[in-house]
Structure 1
Amino acid sequence: MTLDSLEQLRQHTTIVVDSADFDALPRYTPQDVTTNPLHILTATQLPKFDWILEDAARYGLAKSQQAAEQDEAALLKLLVTFGTEILKRIPGRTSTEVDAIHSFDEEATIRVAREIIALYDQHGVSKERVLIKIVSTWEGLQAARVLENEYGIHCNMTAIFSFHQAALAAEAGCTLVSPFVARTTDWYYKNKPQRDYTGWKGPGVKLVDGIYKHYKAHDIKTEIMAASVRTMDEVSKLSGLDLMTLNVGTLTELQSETLPMTKSLDAAKVMTNGHAKVVKPVFLDNEPKFRLAMFLDQPATDKLDEAIRIFLDAGKQTSALLRAKMDKVAGILT
């Protein structure tokens, strides 16, 4: 019997579901799960998860008399409750994202990340099962450096659109990077149309391939998880990568197909004579060099800005739902 494409892919790459809807997980039997502000917003609007919204609202009200502090506490409780429910259904890890409002604040990112881990601990969840998801700005990458090296908190650096971000993430000792495949290619379709971006010509695929070759050639331990993967073409080209996070639509399509999924990426073929090359830090303590490299990479800069704005908007909408629920609960209590 021929295996479906998802089962074939699973032989070469760890499958990660990209969703906050934990009820959908058993169908795909993933190792890990990732969430982001858009997933949380979508799930929070579903009636079946209203209990999570109300629980978070009550938690926020109990934590403080100040509205801003209530809002932050409620949001953290919401995120951790979704994460805890996810972890009940999978063997591996979940990624919980720091609010994008902190994308340019290193100290706030460190504080919120530690609060998330502390809240997971109250739920009986070990920090080893949690990846703190942080937008890959200079400040976010420096925060991750501190979290990884001083607190042993594992970080998933998201919104990777350039090799520069991935290089700094590795230098900072981050556990995992999430390069965005389709969103990277989107920039080229919009700004440089009428070109062929399929297969290995896809800028998003090229980005991941370049990061993969660099990491494997230098024996860098940071894991690579392709994100924003939409097409069977992208999936097949990146088969063999450490991990791949896929939305429910793409997972369902893979289950319905029997297209061959062979190992396109192979670490053994990247190594030079079987020995890793030593790589010296390029950006770790050189903020001007990193910022200039990003500035000169217009596609990466444009898409990073766009991603932050999207995540900010989703976070604001979720916070508004929580505030409305807190106001309702407070009215009942009085």
Structure 2
Amino acid sequence: MISKLEQLREMTVVVADTGDIDAIDLYQPVDATTNPSLILKAAELERYRPLLEQSMKQARQQTQTDWLPECMDALAVGIGREILQVIPGRVSTEIDARLSFDTEATIARGMSLVEKYQNDGIASDRILLKIAATWEGIRAAERLEKSGIQCNLTLLFSFEQAAAAADAGAFLISPFVGRILDWHKLHSGKTEYLPEEDPGVLSVKSIYNFYKQHHYDTIVMGASFRNTGEIEALAGCDRLTISPQLLEALNSDSGELVRQLHPDRTGELINYEQVNEAGFRCHLNNNAMATEKLAEGIRNFIADQDKLEKRLLGETA
């Protein structure tokens, strides 16, 4: 019997959730995703030391005053470029989380990132811009998509976010399975959930079935897994982005993997009426888990961005 990882590849596009080139090269995913937390970890690897120094030098040459944002983007693009040399598909690069509530600034920063990739000879069809699925982020993605720049709406915890993202024409969404589970464990007092009752798994299944029933083209990519059971329960999802540790666990397991999601078997019809901004904010506000995890996710990404910037400042001291 082949490994569960190889079985998963037959029904789902496997994506590496890491900036570590060695791990990506080992597991041969189609795509890879990065975020400020992963960029921070990658920047601490010795192999990226020359890239870190080059990014700082370029940024300082372009502007002597506000060079940090330029350096951060140059570093993210540099890591993305390295990743694209070892994968056949796309890399997701995150826009500064501090812009999560500013549509215009998100668009401008996203176009700047794409331009940097293009200056390195990388076409826009190999890039996904990662944007937090706030109302402002979804609107930014809508306009970027219309201009031919494809987006990955991340930090997605609710059906309302998913419906709005699909209505906006987003290329891909990243529902965060494990973080949903974390919240429910904390608030329910229940310490263990079977994969079939895991609230994060159930959320992704509902979104996947809704998209297929209503013929949305938006890709569903489950993310933020806590264990292989969650991954196995979503076998058949369009894409799954998986950490190196869980990729290794799947690769070491030769048991049978049964497909759980299929576009032709989506169960009872799910209806949802799209809402305006006020309705979106009201629905999200009424969902304590999604509201708290979205805010926490943005805060954490900003914190890691700040840590990396402080490190860069330390390098120039």
**Same-fold call, TM > 0.5?**
yes
* DSSP-derived class of the 2:173 partner: strand
In the alignment, which residue of structure 2 is the partner of 1:332?
A: none
Q: Which amino acid aligns with 1:142?
A: R
Aligned match for 2:102, one of 86, 102, 105: 105
Aligned partner of 1:82 in structure 2 is 79
Once the two structures are superposed, residues 214-239 of structure 1 have per-residue CA deviations (whole angstroms, 9 ceiling, x without a partner) of: 00000100000000112121111100
More moved, 191-200 vs 7-16: 191-200
Q: Which aligned pairs between 1:58-137 and structure 2 lie closer than 5 A?
A: 58-66=57-65, 68=66, 70-137=67-134
**Contact kept? 1:217, 1:271, Cα under 8 Å:** no
Give the distance between the partners of 1:154 and 1:147, measured in 2 at CA.
7
Aligned to 2:248: 252
Query: What is the SS of the residue equivalent to 2:258?
Result: coil
Q: Equivalent residue of 1:177, what SS?
A: strand
**In the superposition, relative to structure 1, how do residues 61 and 295 fare at CA in structure 2: closer, same or farther (>3 Å)?**
same
**Cα separation, 2, equivalents of 1:193 and 1:260:** 32
Shift in alpha-carbon separation, 1:271–1:189, aligned structure 2, 3 A: closer
Q: Is the 8 A contact 2:185 2:192 kept in 1?
A: no
Is 1:315 the equivalent of 2:311?
no
* Matching residue within 278, 290, 300 for 2:290: 300
* Alignment correspondent of 2:260: 264
Query: How many Å apart are 1:195 and its aligned residue?
Result: 6.6
Which amino acid in 1 is paired with 2:79?
A: F
Amino acid at match of 2:283: A
C-alpha change, 1:195 and 1:44, in structure 2 (3 Å) is closer
Distance 2:192 2:42 in 1: 36
Q: Deviations over 1:16-52 (max 9, x none)?
A: 0000111221211110000011110001012221111
- Please tell me whether residue 287 in structure 1 is matched to residue 284 in structure 2: no
1:217 maps onto 2:213 in alignment = yes
Match of 2:35 in 1: 36
Moved over 6 A (4+): none
Cα RMSD, aligned residues only: 1.6
Counterparts of 1:290 and 1:62, CA distance in 2 = 43
Matched with 1:166 is: 162
SS of residue paired to 1:197: coil
User: 1:138 aligned to 135, 138, 141, which one?
Assistant: 135
Q: Which residue number corresponds to residue 46 of structure 1?
A: 45
Structure 1's 282 and 251: CA in aligned 2 closer, same or farther, altered over 3 A? same
The C-alpha deviation readout for 1:269-315, integer Å capped at 9, x for no partner, is 1289xxx99x88613xx111000000000011111111111101011
- Matches of 2:190 and 2:28 in 1, distance apart? 39
Could you tell me how far apart the structure 2 residues matched to 1:9 and 1:170 are? 25
Aligned to 2:14: 15
Once residues 304 and 71 of structure 2 are traced to their aligned partners in structure 1, the CA distance between those partners, rounded to angstroms, is 15
Deviation of 1:261 after TM superposition, in Å, equals 1.3
Aligned residue number for residue 182 of structure 1? 178
Decide which moves more: 210-219 or 17-26.
17-26
Residue of structure 2 aligned with 1:230, choices 217, 226, 237? 226
Query: Which residue identity is paired with 1:263?
Result: R
Measure, in 1, the Cα distance between the counterparts of 2:98 and 2:25.
33
- Counterpart secondary structure, 1:270: coil
Mind listing any 5+ residue stretches in structure 2 that lack a counterpart? none
1:151-184 deviations in whole A, cap 9, x for unaligned? Answer: 1100000011000000000000000000000110
- In our comparison, the structure showing a higher alpha carbon Rg is 1
- Which TM-score applies when normalising by structure 1? 0.92
Q: Distance in 1 between matches of 2:272 and 2:2?
A: 43
Secondary structure of 1:268's partner? coil
